Structure 1
């Protein structure tokens, strides 16, 4: 199971913790790092058992689960940039006066209004989650949608792809298997994302690639490897150094 699927299928409690527990390890839901059980991990002259070390990892690498989630695409959080900023300040324990000064908001009343609006979104979210749970229990035959990668730069109807539809498209564009030659690069946005996701899965998400190394992977798949490389970055599957010296899978 890839990381995005693991994230979207995780329980609310696991997402709040930022990691999930499996038989012999813990997996970070934010970056896919695995911590093996049964090992003592040293850090700055302190020894940690596996779960505590995973919690330390989240703090040191991601600041907190809240900060990571708050930094996701606004189409995923459902918050405007302004709401995300204010919610982060609330989370960090800033007073209304401190928030007023930082955001240069006219009055404390405005901040109280934002608190109320966020509480209203929370109530709406609870009702919606309950309805979706009831719907899923009722509609067991519905095809599952492919999870949207958390680093997507724009989330819209192009991601409306079921698992069976994705498999059909992969077989259409990669008749000899993913990693073999691409028949053609699709023009339809939904099809592009399926192809780009399939290519991304060929890459090691723990590695940084030079431009040459990335080209060596993409060129046998499609002759216009520059176009593929550009789209991988544009659609949020990969990122790179500004000078092009390193490329990596976004997590």
Structure 2
């Protein structure tokens, strides 16, 4: 699941909607836009064990909850009483109450951080802001006029974000789409240090079977530079970097 393309409400309910369909956050299931939410919730319960549990246990680098915390939150979601939960986990009731307090404090911290982040990085932006690309060696045309909204939709279409490491589903035909997917692929390459070709291939091979094509396009579109002898590669920088 690509967290960056979903709202908090999308994450909480376990499914999201586009202009054409409704989609499960955890599998390839989809429904018509007129499908009742109760039908999708039934799918979440039967296939994924509920609405809260798959989110709590989501395998993502952004999920920093420990196994113990995940188990506690799953139990809290059932509405079980603190005393009964304490017996179940063989903990003191005071420990359960303290853990609830800790979760509330973390939520307050996250809320404040989100407000700060949005104030700093999202104020004054519009949906049509263009993403920043490396300086191009050739003629600049509409291939490089990619809005943030376009990028989000394209990346969702072409990448399997449920797979770790990142995995490209198929190679696009349009050059603008190729440029867009390269903006995500390049994030898998370390910055601020040169790497040799074997190291570069190590990062690219899990993403797509034709990793030589990835490498070539990353160079052609200025995302990577290399020495004349081809022994060293390094990421280029943009104004944002």
Report the TM range for the smaller structure's normalisation: 0.5 to 0.7
Q: Could you tell me which residue of structure 2 aligns to residue 36 of structure 1?
A: 32
1:11 corresponds, among 2, 7, 13, to 7
Give how far 1:82 is off.
Answer: 1.3
Distance 2:9 2:186 in 1: 34
1:91 corresponds, among 77, 88, 95, to 77
Equivalences for 1:154-233 in 2 at 5 Å? 164-167=182-185, 186-187=198-199, 192-199=202-209, 221=210
Give how far 1:114 is off.
Answer: 0.5
Give how far 1:168 is off.
Answer: 5.6
Give how far 1:90 is off.
Answer: 0.9
Q: Could you tell me which residue of structure 2 aligns to residue 71 of structure 1?
A: 57
Give how far 1:150 is off.
Answer: 4.5
1:103 corresponds, among 63, 66, 89, to 89
Give how far 1:94 is off.
Answer: 1.7
Distance verdict in 2 for CA 1:8–1:99, change over 3 Å: same
Please state whether the residue corresponding to 2:119 is helix, strand or coil. helix
TM score, norm. by length of structure 1: 0.53
Aligned residues: 163
| 2:14 corresponds to 1:26 | no
Distance 2:206 2:73 in 1: 33
Distance verdict in 2 for CA 1:36–1:63, change over 3 Å: same
Q: CA RMSD in A?
A: 3.6
Distance 1:169 1:101 in 2: 46
Q: Could you tell me which residue of structure 1 aligns to residue 161 of structure 2?
A: 149
- CA deviations over 1:146-193 (Å, ceiling 9, x no partner): 89934548xxxxxxxx965545699xxxxxxxxxxxxx98436xx645
Structure 2: runs of 5+ lacking an equivalent: 133-147, 166-179, 189-195, 212-241
Give how far 1:81 is off.
Answer: 1.4
